[in-house]
Amino acid sequence: MEAAQAWHYFIMSIVSIKLLAMVAVGTLAGIYIGAIPGLSVTMAVSILISFTFSWEINPALALMIGIWTGGVYGGSRSSILLNIPGAPAAVATGFDGYPLAKLGLAGHAIGLSTTASVIGGVIGVIALAFAAPIISEYSLKFAPRDYFLLAIMGILLVGSLSGESLAKGVFAGALGVLLSMVGMDNFTGQGRFTFGSVGLMSGIHFVAIMIGLFGVSEALVQLHDISLKAIKQDVSRIFPSWRLLFKHMYLIIKCSFIGVGIGALPGAGGDIAALLAYGHARRSVKKPMRPFGKGAYEGLIAPETANNACIGGAYIPMLTLGIPGDAVTAVIIGALYIHGLKPGPMLMIDTPHLFWFSVGCMLLANVFLLIFGLTGVRIFAKMVEIRKGLLLPIIIIISTVGSYAINNSIYDVYWMLGFGIFGYILKMYGFQVGPVILGVILGPLMEDNYRRAMIDQHNNILGFLSQLVVNPLSLVLTLGIVITIVGQTQFWSWMKRKVWKSKKEGI
Amino acid sequence: MRKMKKMLLMIVGLFIVSLFSFVQAQDFPTKDLSGIIMWGAGGATDNVVRALTPMVEPHLGKQIVLQNKPGATGAVSTQWVVNQPSDGYTLLYGAENPQLYRVLDISPLDYKDFYPVNITARGVGLIACNVNAPWKTLKDLFDDAKKNPGNIKMGSTGPGGLPYVVGAMMKATHGLTFNAIPFPGEGPGMTAMLGGHVQWMTVGLTAGREHVRAGRIRPLALVADEPVPGLEDIPLIISAYPEYKKYLPWGPFYGVWVKRDTPEPAKKKLVDAFQKGVKDPKFQAFIKDFGAVPMNLYGDGADKFLKHWQSVSCWLLEDAGATKVSPDKFGIPKP
């Protein structure tokens, strides 16, 4: 395509007041939809489909892109302020974001997460703009065994999230995997742990588990010292200092790549990208400013960068192949059909404007994200200063509404409350709830792909294991896992010392 | 005398009540309707529903508030709708899945419990393979499968899904077996076929057609008994193997149902509104782009189609050993 033509499509959304307004409205709405747990971007975009049926495709897409960008970011708000992840992609944000709010730095945390999100989002858009064909070919290379390896890589994070005892962490993680198995097995249609109930056939929705374990259980813990005065929030500085940003620029760029890469994979989305990025930060940052889990900036930057970079990544297989990169792109593909377009490998040939138009809208959405994300933070941060006697009931109400909204089902509310109490008990006995959610999110990815890879090898375990090292892509992932595990052992530090010593002696 | 008076009063009372309910039904709908979608946002069912509903609403004069209640291949939604009053205000937007619930032991319900307001469209299966696979025609694939039973990797979407049932047809007619690898939907299965992780798969025309046009997958046959407009170059399965005729037409379908015992006036009003909505040129254009075959059936005609579909599918699954309860037990006849 001619550069002039591409440029024309690219600035379409900026020069048209109508499209500009659509992106702005979308982004703003997205932030709030994302911030309310249970209301998901997927839901919002699918409602928009009927709503925008009679519109032209351009304004409809501009609105959807805005909502999506805002929504992915918005999830971090409630995660930081209330410890309730607004969306699964914001689970990892709370690991260090909520402790920051407890330190009275909620405003600072929101500012940092906004900036990290925008930088990640822009890197994602750049990747989409300039490397889409290459990345989409690479995403097809991922076989079931590779997804299995990715899930293993993610589950290793249990080690970092266990708190006082690794055994308790492993127990919690295994419990999460078990919970994820409840319901109808996709492979055989057999119900597992359903006790004959139709309601349980669809499993326990993981967002209900998430809201209960994080939001409600934390509220219950807070009841212990209800009379304690809320921490005064420091809102003097919202925008993070340039020094802080530059110091972590390398981490931001690495996590953006993780986000783009995972986002482009049709079988993995923002939640997994954020968890992997968090795990990466924990391993690669040797001297965080505060310990991880206690309000490390690195632990906030990593997942926030990755989940927004995911957006650009997820768009890649959608625009180039018509294959959804995650749940939201699946809905957008539906919207394209309804608007008379034909998503697929020919989409960019049939409707050439779509590519650069989408890139333009996304970039614009990130600009609006920066503006909206940094305004009104003071009011939000002050929310945490509300008297606990008021704040805790508000948390319970938000959790209830949110879990009802997932599937419009009262059972999800019961599950949410049940897991809230269960999470409280876990915390009282020194178990962390993080690994449970990790297990719930990664369990199906691990199990399904393991079974697929085994069926592929006619259930021959040796064949399966050899596949893990024969294929170059799988080999890289396997080596990554081996190094991560060995790197945590005594053997590794012994080896390092030995090599260091022999080098010294050599001189 | 007193007794008579009481009786008369009762009769008059009953008459008034029935008159009142009659008037009420005549005015149906007096309030907004609720539409329950049995599959999640972004799926094929969801797409069809969200394109169709705005076309129908003007003919009803009320809004249809849509809600996705996915779960257990739609059994959560069917159960939900059955639990609502039979007043015609709760619509079930669904796909083919309930017709398999009884033999798969998912739920005792199926479309016998619902009145088909409209069966809107049905999808057509496309047998396609990775471009690097050695087969040029369906016969090549069948010959290879005979030589290597259970070895060729086939993408599937779990028991009862389109690829699974077409595989079961091949097993029933030719004794072919494949190494079926299940994926959580057509999209992921198609991705695996593009990447060469499975060699062939039966996919819906909606997604398959565009990849054929781009030359990224090779079409082998359409699972249809009559040509699909615009795709006359792809051979039909029955032109190579006429014995598949008895199964066809077969494919996923989409439609809208209410509870069987909904009052007739309400049913009639809904049927009329949906007939008009489906005929809307804008919706017809959508269906054509979507790669589906328009049907627009209701009432008895729809029930006949549903029964045939159920008998073909249940017995194919039974013969493939995938059922939990024999279709015999429910009196489902052999095709």
Q: Which residues contact A27 (CB under 8 A, 6 or more apart)?
A: A66, A67, A69, A70, A365, A368, A369, A372
Report, in this order, helix, strand and coil percent for chain B, each rounded to 5.
Answer: 50, 20, 30
Distance from CA of B237 to the nearest CA of A (A): 25
- For range B309-329, the mean pLDDT: 86
Q: Residue A20: pLDDT above 70?
A: yes
The reply to whether residue B43 touches residue A343, judged by beta carbons under 8 angstroms, is no
A483 in any annotated domain = no
User: Smallest Cβ distance to B107: which of A198, A333, A344?
Assistant: A198
Q: Residue B8: pLDDT above 70?
A: no
Query: Which one has a higher pLDDT value, B28 or A300?
Result: A300
Provide the residue range defining the domain that includes A325.
3-456
Q: Residue A186: pLDDT above 80?
A: no
Q: Residue B271: pLDDT above 60?
A: yes
The reply to whether residue B69 touches residue A407, judged by beta carbons under 8 angstroms, is yes
A74 in any annotated domain = yes
Query: Which one has a higher pLDDT value, B164 or A229?
Result: B164
Strand order in the sheet with B90-94: B64-68, B33-37, B90-94, B253-259, B114-123, B292-297
Q: Taking a C-beta distance cutoff of 8 angstroms, is the pair B105, B327 a contact?
A: no
- For range A94-101, the mean pLDDT: 91
Report chain B residues whose CB lies below 8 A from the CB of A47. Answer: 66
pLDDT tens figures, A55-64: 888 899 999 9
Q: What is the pLDDT of residue B317?
A: 85
Q: What is the pLDDT of residue A1?
A: 56
Report chain A residues whose CB lies below 8 A from the CB of B68. Answer: 43, 46, 407
The reply to whether residue B180 touches residue A142, judged by beta carbons under 8 angstroms, is no
Q: What is the pLDDT of residue A413?
A: 94
**Confidence bin at A120 (pLDDT 50/70/90):** very high
Q: Residue B172: pLDDT above 90?
A: no
pLDDT tens figures, A236-277: 777 888 888 888 999 999 999 999 999 999 878 888 999 999
A282 in any annotated domain = yes
User: Smallest Cβ distance to A455: which of B42, B181, B286?
Assistant: B181
Report chain A residues whose CB lies below 8 A from the CB of B53. Answer: 50
Report chain A residues whose CB lies below 8 A from the CB of B290. Answer: 337
**Confidence bin at B7 (pLDDT 50/70/90):** low
Q: Which helix (H) or strand (E) segment is B9 a member of?
A: helix B2-26
What type of residue is A287?
Answer: K
- Cα Rg for chain B, rounded, in angstroms? 23
Q: What is the pLDDT of residue A54?
A: 76
The reply to whether residue A345 touches residue B41, judged by beta carbons under 8 angstroms, is no
Query: Which one has a higher pLDDT value, B155 or A5?
Result: B155
Q: Residue B119: pLDDT above 90?
A: yes
User: Smallest Cβ distance to B158: which of A189, A199, A324?
Assistant: A189
Q: What is the pLDDT of residue B5?
A: 66
A207 in any annotated domain = yes
Closest by CA position to A124, among listed A261, A20, A27: A261
A402 in any annotated domain = yes
Q: Taking a C-beta distance cutoff of 8 angstroms, is the pair A294, A110 a contact?
A: no
- For range B99-112, the mean pLDDT: 87
Q: Residue A506: pLDDT above 80?
A: no
As for how many domains chain A has, the answer is: 1
Checking ipTM against 0.90, whether it exceeds it is no
HSE-CB for B111 with a 13 A CA cutoff: 33
The reply to whether residue A46 touches residue B41, judged by beta carbons under 8 angstroms, is yes
Q: What is the pLDDT of residue B16?
A: 57
What type of residue is B107?
Answer: S
Among the ranges given (A32-36, A45-49, A111-115), the one the predictor scored with the smallest mean pLDDT: A45-49
Query: Which one has a higher pLDDT value, A147 or B43?
Result: A147
Q: Taking a C-beta distance cutoff of 8 angstroms, is the pair A436, A179 a contact?
A: yes
User: Smallest Cβ distance to B71: which of A140, A201, A347?
Assistant: A201
Report chain A residues whose CB lies below 8 A from the CB of B106. Answer: 184, 189, 198, 201
Q: Which residues contact A76 (CB under 8 A, 6 or more apart)?
A: A86, A90, A93, A97, A110, A113, A117, A304
Mean pLDDT of chain A: 87
Q: Residue B26: pLDDT above 60?
A: no
Q: Taking a C-beta distance cutoff of 8 angstroms, is the pair A320, A138 a contact?
A: no
Q: Taking a C-beta distance cutoff of 8 angstroms, is the pair B256, B92 a contact?
A: yes
Mutation target for A interface from B50, B165, B190, B193: give the one with most A CBs within 10 A.
Answer: B50
The Cα–Cα gap between B174 and B186 comes to 25
Report chain B residues whose CB lies below 8 A from the CB of A53. Answer: 50-51, 54
The reply to whether residue A337 touches residue B72, judged by beta carbons under 8 angstroms, is no
